[in-house]
Chain A
Amino acid sequence: MARYGMVIDTKRCVGCHSCVISCFLENEVPEGYTRDWIVEVVSGKSPDFRMELRSERCNHCDDPPCVFVCPCGASYKEEGTGIVLVHKDKCSGCKACLAACPYNARFINPKGYADKCTFCDHRVKAGLKPGCASTCPTKAINFGDFDEPGSELHRLMEGRVVKTLKPDAGTKPQIYFLL
């Protein structure tokens, strides 16, 4: 059993959008849509400003509301990997999962079904990292198994301030950001 997730170092991210482009090419994401994206947060008081750059995507939550609300059983958390996926053949396009996601990580594919980041599950099953993690030139995006003892992900988090997005939502995201 694995629990796949990501640790993303915001100090290493330079906002180059390589992750977005690699996802676009790897998954044939329809034009005008994106499964991952960059968020830039600037805060502070002049002259002391700080900038945080984050590569964001579906958080593959441990308690995924998109899965619970799906009336067709199309959204599911994959046994053995914890990756949240969509059976496009079962999807009716009711959009309940889009409304349920606090991160607005899903969209409706022009073909009619709900679409989102899959952690490139086809690559993961072949023993490869997701496209975004492979492409990231600064190694800001780190993919792995949180349940693996001595995992690289745990080592990266040691001694760092760590956060998840919208923890109040109670979804237990599996993407951690290093500040």
Chain B
Amino acid sequence: MIEITNFRNNHLIDPHLEIWEWPIAVYLFLGGLVAGLMILNGVWRLMNKQTDAPASTRMAPLWAPVLLSLGMFFLWIDLSYKTHVYRFYMTFQIASPMSWGAWILILVYPAQLLAIGIATEIKSFKGPFRFLNLPIAFLQAAAFGKEKLIAWLNITMGAGLGIYTGILLAAFAARPLWNTALLGPLFLISGLSTAAAWNLLSKPAHDEEKTLVRWDLALIAIELMLITVFLIGLATGPQGHQDAGELLLGGSFTATFWVFVVIVGLLLPFWLELREVTGRFAPKWAAPVFVLVGGLALRLIMVYAGQVSHIPDVEMLSGGF
């Protein structure tokens, strides 16, 4: 028998860490979504120049800075010293993933704005958005003739942003659930999938829709594979990783993880999109909505469960003195 009594009772620390809540999960979700929108836009520009893709190449570049700013707002409301937010930009800490992230978040804006510039299909806004016509004309002039460069810029910056949202958590060795190199690719692929879903809900053209559904099927398949490897890694790792895996494989986050992430977020949309591809009936809104729900659920569960996971005390490993 072993019993450990810790007399510490610090707010948000005990009985387990609860320092990051839903705003961080929403920020990670929006960061991944924006990364995906940037990559899909860039890839579409490079690969399907001839196909009209209003959702991926016209609407997505407009949404990207708005969604990213919203994500940064959620990041800001989570800070406990809000007036010191400028401190992120007074230094660059090379060993800190969060410092890299803070600068990436700023550096993606020019790439996003230039992407608006190459969305030459944007003619003119009317009504309350008229004021956007002048800056967009300026961006179009700045981006003229640089389509390929801007597409690559969006792909690389988007990939950096998407991977960063996973690396941010993966860098915390003290939290075994997060401490895996798979988290970067997993969040990037999930971000791409949510971006495809977002574009599918943004009135895509017929051929664009068919392509996006096929891409999303592949992305969901890769995500399922990554989650499987992630769980195997936890279950076969050292004690702290096994305990962390237990949270998703029988512990307190099991039901939410399997229902919202795996079934609703991955298997159900995979089945619906497979039906669509094979010409059978499937409501067009359903798969994208489920993918978005699953993407958000993945971040929420990872943020909350990761804080519960910890490196076990040495006494617990040895079973006593």
Contact = CB atoms under 8 A, between A and B. Distances in A.
Nearest to A43: B320
Nearest to B80: A93
Interface residues on B, range: 35 or more
Interface in B285-321: 307, 310-311, 313-315, 319-321
A74 to B, nearest CB: 7
Contacts of A45: 1
A128 interface: no
A44 B91 contact: no
A72 B88 contact: yes
B120 interface: no
Contacts of B232: none
Contact of A65 (B12, B91, B101, B173): B173
B47 interface: no
B87 A69 contact: no
A21 interface: no
Contact of B12 (A42, A107, A111): A107
A72 B175 contact: no
B6 A39 contact: yes
Nearest to B5: A40
B10 A34 contact: yes
Given A65-B173, A104-B17, A70 B93 contact: yes
A17 B5 CA distance: 14
A123 B320 CA distance: 37
Interface residues on A, range: 35 or more
A24 interface: no
Contact of A99 (B4, B5, B175, B311): B175
B96 A71 contact: yes
B79 A94 contact: yes
B96 A69 contact: yes
A149 B69 CA distance: 56
A92 B88 contact: yes
B79 A93 contact: yes
A108 to B, nearest CB: 5
B85 A92 contact: yes
A92 B90 CA distance: 11
B173 A170 contact: yes
A92 to B, nearest CB: 4
16 contacts: A37-B7, A40-B5, A44-B1, A44-B320, A69-B96, A69-B98, A70-B98, A71-B88, A71-B98, A72-B87, A92-B88, A96-B98, A99-B20, A100-B173, A108-B19, A108-B80
Given A90-B84, A95-B78, 4 more contacts: A39-B6, A93-B82, A94-B88, A107-B12
